[in-house]
Structure 1
Amino acid sequence: MNICVFLSAADLDDRYTGPAREFAELLGKGGHTLVWGGSDAGLMKVVADAVEDSGGRLCGVSVEFLQHKARPSAHEMVVTKDLAERKAELLARADAIVIMVGGTGTLDEATEILELKKHGLHAKPVVLLNTAGFYDGLKEQFRRMEAEGFLPLPLADLVFFAEDGVSALAYIEEAGGIR
């Protein structure tokens, strides 16, 4: 299964890198392909290293202005002209989406994926990996949106909040990675 992971390319401490590495090892050992932003830096590198070291495959989708940071050893690397094209390409190649810790770029990717799902433009499983409670505030905001009628479908139909990599991958595998 092709599992797209949106995440930071920043160098982070072990409270984020440890759980990300554990999830990536599960992904690789399960024979899955990591579809990611293609960077060979920070948390993106940690995840790509662990997937590759565990026997998984790497499919990177970089963007022209970041091509110099692309991982040279990826099994496949696609370079897009801009960020919008990159997001579309990542989603097109994915059977499921996992959103790990990240900054504004990751948040932008997460909300776009959820907006597309809300409108029925994809039915792929989406998981927010809530490492160290990173997405607790976002989870609360989504619950408020649901309670106050801002979501046209139940929150559980949009996204699954996983507290660890085991439950994230179990959810994806159970959902079957709908295309």
Structure 2
Amino acid sequence: MNICVFLSAADLDERYTGPAREFAELIGKGGHTLVWGGSESGLMKVVADGVRSAGGRLVGVSVEFLAATARADADELVIAEDLAERKALLLAKSDAIVIMVGGAGTLDEATEILELKKHGKHAKPVVLLNTAGFYDGLKEQFRRMDEEGFLPLPLTELVFFAEDGVGALAYLEESAGVQ
């Protein structure tokens, strides 16, 4: 399975790097491919390193203005012209999406992926990995949107909230019918 992971390129503390490393190793050991922003910094690097060390493949999709920070040893690296093209390529190259800890860019990617799913533009499973409660507020906001009728499909069909990497990967593999 090609698993797209949206996450931060910032250097963060062990609350986030440890669980990211563990999830990456699960991806690699499971024989899956990481599809990610291609960066060689921050959590993006941690996850790519973990997948690679566990035997997984790396498919990076960077963007022209960040190409200098792209990982040189990716199995495949695509350089998009802009962020919109990058997001479209990440979605096209993936079978499932995981949203990990990140900033405004990660949130932008997450909301676009969910909006496209809401409108039936893809049916790929989407997991929001809530490491260290990072997305508790967003989770509550989505529940409110669901309860108050702002989502055209039930929240459970739009996104799965996982508290750890084991739960995230189990959901993805179950959704994809992987044994």
User: TM-score with structure 1 length normalisation?
Assistant: 0.98
Within 5 Å, which residues of 2 pair with 1:39-54? 39-54=39-54
Q: After the TM superposition, which parts of structure 1 deviate over 3 Å for at least 4 consecutive aligned residues?
A: none
* Structure 2: distance between partners of 1:91 and 1:165: 20
Partner of 2:57: 57
Aligned position for 2:97? 97
- Residue of structure 1 in register with 2:29 after alignment: 29
RMSD of aligned alpha carbons: 0.6
Residue 54 of structure 1, CA deviation: 0.2
The aligned amino acid for 2:3 is I
User: Does 2:171 align with 1:175?
Assistant: no
For residues 110 and 82 of structure 2, the distance between their equivalents in structure 1, rounded to whole angstroms, comes to: 17
Distance across 1 between alignment mates of 2:92 and 2:150: 27
* Structure 1 residues without counterparts, runs of 5 or longer: none
Residue 77 (structure 1) aligns with? 77
Distance 1:145 1:167 in 2: 24
1:41 positional shift: 0.4
Partner residue of 2:161?
A: 161
Q: 2:164, 2:148 → 1: CA distance? A: 29
Distance (Å, rounded) in 2 between the aligned partners of 1:63 and 1:25: 26
What letter matches 1:84 in structure 2? A
Q: What amino acid is aligned across from residue 7 of structure 2 in structure 1?
A: L
What amino acid does structure 1 have at the position aligned with 2:125? P
Query: How many residue pairs are counted as aligned between the two chains?
Result: 177
Quote the residue 2:66 is aligned against: 66
Q: Matches of 1:50 and 1:61 in 2, distance apart?
A: 18
Cα distance in 1 between the residues matched to 2:161 and 2:143:
12
Aligned-partner SS, 1:34 = strand
Quick one: which amino acid aligns to residue 126 of structure 1?
V
Shift of 1:123: 0.2
Distance 1:99 1:16 in 2: 13
Identity %: 82
TM-score of the pair, normalised by structure 2: 0.98
| Number of the residue aligned with 1:125 | 125
C-alpha separation between the residues in 2 aligned to 1:147 and 1:166?
28
The amino acid of 1:16's aligned partner reads Y
